[in-house]
């Protein structure tokens, strides 16, 4: 009998090598790799999410009648070799993995690779779109996706006459004291108890709060969260997308990325649900367009860039940033209210929203000169939705500008003023976002000016930074700012800030 190998982020019945297979026709192989689980400081909920979702998917396949070889092994390679020895399959096939190294492994193991159809635009289609364009703008890709997938289109024109409603989506935190829908929480069962015990034994360095049912580990649970999002939250999606609130962890974000990334949901069904809600008049065009842009635009764009630019991309570090992570990211105390809140939120649920990733954690790492590989590794292990394909463009390209502008036209660097405008953190902080020197100077503000000065040779040719560099050169206290920045950077590392 042939074997179909299902990797831990391909938990779908209707895609890849398992699509169309019936019980009795193929045996299914799934491997839990000890070296992966035990490889460093993973968030407990992240490990739990993957392991419980894999085990439950295997049970579902067994209930359907499939013979499933679910095995624990020292590595993926060892698991596949042991399976071959025991079952001697005529053919072993798998869907093309989500990572470059995974694909290399499959090739080395002589596994038959089936195209990956967990995305709406395959790596090959993206490469054809990219062709010899000099500029791979997300907005161009998104419009191309809208047209070819016929989503929110009125013939050749965008529904509503406008492609992108982002201009309406930049509002600060709402001040009307509104309440947001409570998240669905599943009760834990015997599978969860076994996974919790396993993690305690197999992942001694794991950190963060234990799994509490916030994240679904089945397709049924993921669908319930999708429907709740579409019915109760999507109508609010948009205006406050960029806001950060200490009292509300996800505002109108969907928190669906974990399920999309391991196959419990497919982009097609998520987009169809949002599209249907718009067609029924249940959500405004700005909310529908804003959300659909994230899924068929940003998500697929990042996937395409990853395959287009790997493997060289993960080594890029054009700003030669070499600092380790701030101590506060890995358990140290800090008086910076925005950082303290964000890191605690990660501890609690292994998730923070896009602006906290980009403009709080990413911004501090960019302006203080954190080594790109260190930030990628930490975020990958800390976020419930972490994966290399999505992490590299977002961290190397978007957050750290380590690719010199291949992905973003300018670095997302900002001082405390931006965080003060978009969040409610600064009022509770010992630092002052307006100050750039002195003991109470906001580290973001000091580091922002220092970043521009320190990297001026690399950034000078970027015309979009002309005004910012001009303002930096005019600062009368620039020397004092740079002196303070040296101290701030050292204290971020030793954890005394």
Ligand X SMILES: Cc1cc2nc3c(=O)[nH]c(=O)nc-3n(C[C@H](O)[C@H](O)[C@H](O)COP(=O)(O)OP(=O)(O)OC[C@H]3O[C@@H](n4cnc5c(N)ncnc54)[C@H](O)[C@@H]3O)c2cc1C
**Residues at the site binding ligand X, with contacts judged by CB under 6 A:** 253-257, 260-261, 294-295, 298-299, 302, 353-354, 357-358, 362, 379, 383, 385-387, 390-391, 394-395, 398-399
**φ, ψ of residue 394 in degrees (nearest 5):** -70, -35
Shortest distance in whole angstroms from residue 442 CB to ligand X: 21
Question: Distance of CA 6 to CAs 258, 385, 466, Å?
Answer: 17, 18, 50
Shortest distance in whole angstroms from residue 156 CB to ligand X: 25
Shortest distance in whole angstroms from residue 382 CB to ligand SF4: 19
Shortest distance in whole angstroms from residue 329 CB to ligand X: 12
* 446 contact, one of ligand X, ligand SF4, none, CB 5-8 Å limit per kind: none
* 370 contact, one of ligand X, ligand SF4, none, CB 5-8 Å limit per kind: none
Shortest distance in whole angstroms from residue 394 CB to ligand X: 4
Find tokens 């949002």 and name the residue: 274
| Minimum CB distance to ligand SF4 smaller for 382 or for 420 | 420
| Minimum CB distance to ligand SF4 smaller for 191 or for 340 | 340
Shortest distance in whole angstroms from residue 377 CB to ligand SF4: 24
Q: Which long-range contacts (CB under 8 A, 24 or more apart) does 307-313 make?
A: 307/100, 307/123, 307/126, 307/127, 307/389, 308/123, 308/126, 308/127, 308/130, 309/393, 309/403, 309/406, 310/100, 310/392, 311/100, 313/392, 313/393, 313/396, 313/403
Other CB atoms within 10 Å distance of the CB of residue 188: 17
Tell me how far apart the alpha carbons of residues 282 and 274 are, in angstroms, rounded to a whole number: 9
| Minimum CB distance to ligand X smaller for 3 or for 45 | 45
| Minimum CB distance to ligand SF4 smaller for 54 or for 497 | 497
| Minimum CB distance to ligand X smaller for 23 or for 183 | 183
Other CB atoms within 10 Å distance of the CB of residue 73: 17
Identify the bridge partners of residue 245 per DSSP, sorted by sequence position.
Answer: 248
Shortest distance in whole angstroms from residue 408 CB to ligand SF4: 21
* 485 contact, one of ligand SF4, ligand X, none, CB 5-8 Å limit per kind: none
Tell me how far apart the alpha carbons of residues 148 and 296 are, in angstroms, rounded to a whole number: 11
Shortest distance in whole angstroms from residue 431 CB to ligand SF4: 4
* 298 contact, one of ligand SF4, ligand X, none, CB 5-8 Å limit per kind: ligand X
Find tokens 């989503």 and name the residue: 151
Closest residue by Cα to residue 307 from 16, 59, 101: 101
**Angle separating helix axes 300-309 and 123-130, nearest 10 degrees:** 80
* 431 contact, one of ligand X, ligand SF4, none, CB 5-8 Å limit per kind: ligand SF4
| Minimum CB distance to ligand X smaller for 166 or for 432 | 166
Shortest distance in whole angstroms from residue 161 CB to ligand SF4: 38
Please name the helix (run of DSSP H) or strand (run of DSSP E) that holds residue 312, with its range, or none: none
| Minimum CB distance to ligand SF4 smaller for 142 or for 444 | 444
**φ, ψ of residue 94 in degrees (nearest 5):** -150, 155
* 159 contact, one of ligand SF4, ligand X, none, CB 5-8 Å limit per kind: none
| Minimum CB distance to ligand X smaller for 341 or for 357 | 357
**Angle separating helix axes 267-279 and 219-228, nearest 10 degrees:** 30
CB 353 within 8 A of CB 251: yes
Please name the helix (run of DSSP H) or strand (run of DSSP E) that holds residue 370, with its range, or none: none
Closest residue by Cα to residue 323 from 450, 457, 432, 429: 450
* 357 contact, one of ligand X, ligand SF4, none, CB 5-8 Å limit per kind: ligand X
* 384 contact, one of ligand X, ligand SF4, none, CB 5-8 Å limit per kind: none
| Residues in touch with ligand SF4 (CB under 6 A) | 336-338, 416, 419-420, 425-426, 429, 431, 433, 442-444
* 425 contact, one of ligand SF4, ligand X, none, CB 5-8 Å limit per kind: ligand SF4
Tell me how far apart the alpha carbons of residues 391 and 205 are, in angstroms, rounded to a whole number: 22
| Minimum CB distance to ligand SF4 smaller for 145 or for 423 | 423
């Amino acid at each position: 009998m042939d074997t179909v190998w299902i990797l831990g982020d391909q938990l779908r019945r209707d895609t890849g090598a398992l699509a169309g297979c019936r019980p009795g026709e193929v045996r299914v192989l799934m491997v839990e790799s000890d070296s992966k689980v035990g490889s460093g400081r993973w968030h407990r909920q992240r490990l739990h999410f993957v392991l419980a979702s894999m085990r439950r998917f295997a049970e579902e396949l067994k209930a359907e009648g499939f013979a499933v070889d679910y095995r624990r092994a020292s590595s993926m390679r060892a698991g596949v070799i042991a399976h071959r020895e025991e079952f001697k399959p005529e053919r072993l096939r798998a869907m093309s993995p989500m990572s470059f190294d995974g694909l290399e492994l499959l090739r080395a193991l002589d596994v038959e690779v089936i195209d990956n159809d967990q995305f709406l635009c395959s790596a090959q289609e993206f490469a054809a779109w990219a062709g010899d364009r000099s500029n791979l703008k997300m907005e161009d890709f998104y419009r191309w996706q809208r047209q070819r997938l016929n989503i929110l289109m009125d013939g050749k024109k965008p529904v509503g006459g406008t492609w992108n409603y982002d201009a309406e989506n930049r509002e600060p935190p709402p001040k009307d004291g509104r309440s947001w829908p409570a998240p669905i929480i599943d009760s834990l069962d015997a599978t969860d108890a076994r996974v919790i015990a396993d993690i305690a034994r197999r992942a001694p360095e794991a950190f963060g709060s234990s799994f509490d049912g916030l994240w679904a580990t089945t397709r049924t649970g993921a669908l319930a969260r999708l429907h709740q999002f579409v019915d109760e939250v999507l109508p609010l999606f948009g205006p406050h997308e960029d806001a950060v609130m200490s009292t509300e962890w996800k505002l109108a974000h969907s928190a669906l990325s974990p399920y999309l990334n391991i196959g419990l949901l497919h982009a097609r069904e998520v987009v169809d649900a949002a599209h249907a809600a718009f067609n029924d008049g249940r959500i405004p065009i700005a909310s529908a367009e804003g959300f659909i842009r994230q899924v068929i635009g940003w998500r697929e764009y990042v996937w395409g860039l990853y395959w287009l630019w790997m493997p060289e991309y993960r080594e890029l570090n054009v700003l030669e940033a070499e600092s380790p992570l701030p101590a506060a990211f890995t358990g140290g105390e800090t008086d910076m209210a925005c950082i303290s809140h964000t890191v605690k939120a990660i501890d609690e649920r292994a998730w923070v929203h896009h602006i906290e990733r980009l403009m709080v954690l990413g911004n501090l790492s960019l302006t203080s000169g954190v080594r790109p590989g260190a930030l990628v590794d930490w975020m990958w292990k800390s976020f419930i939705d972490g994966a290399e394909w999505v992490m590299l463009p977002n961290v190397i390209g978007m957050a750290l500008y380590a690719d010199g502008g291949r992905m973003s036209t300018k670095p997302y660097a900002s001082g405390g003023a931006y965080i003060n405008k978009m969040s409610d953190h600064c009022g509770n902080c010992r630092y002052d976002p307006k100050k750039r020197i002195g003991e109470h100077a906001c580290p973001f503000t000091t580091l922002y000016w220092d970043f521009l000065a320190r990297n001026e040779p690399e950034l000078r040719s970027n015309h979009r930074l002309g005004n910012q560099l001009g303002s930096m050169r005019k600062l009368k206290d620039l020397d004092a700012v740079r002196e303070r920045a040296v101290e701030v950077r050292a204290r971020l590392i030793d954890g005394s800030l």
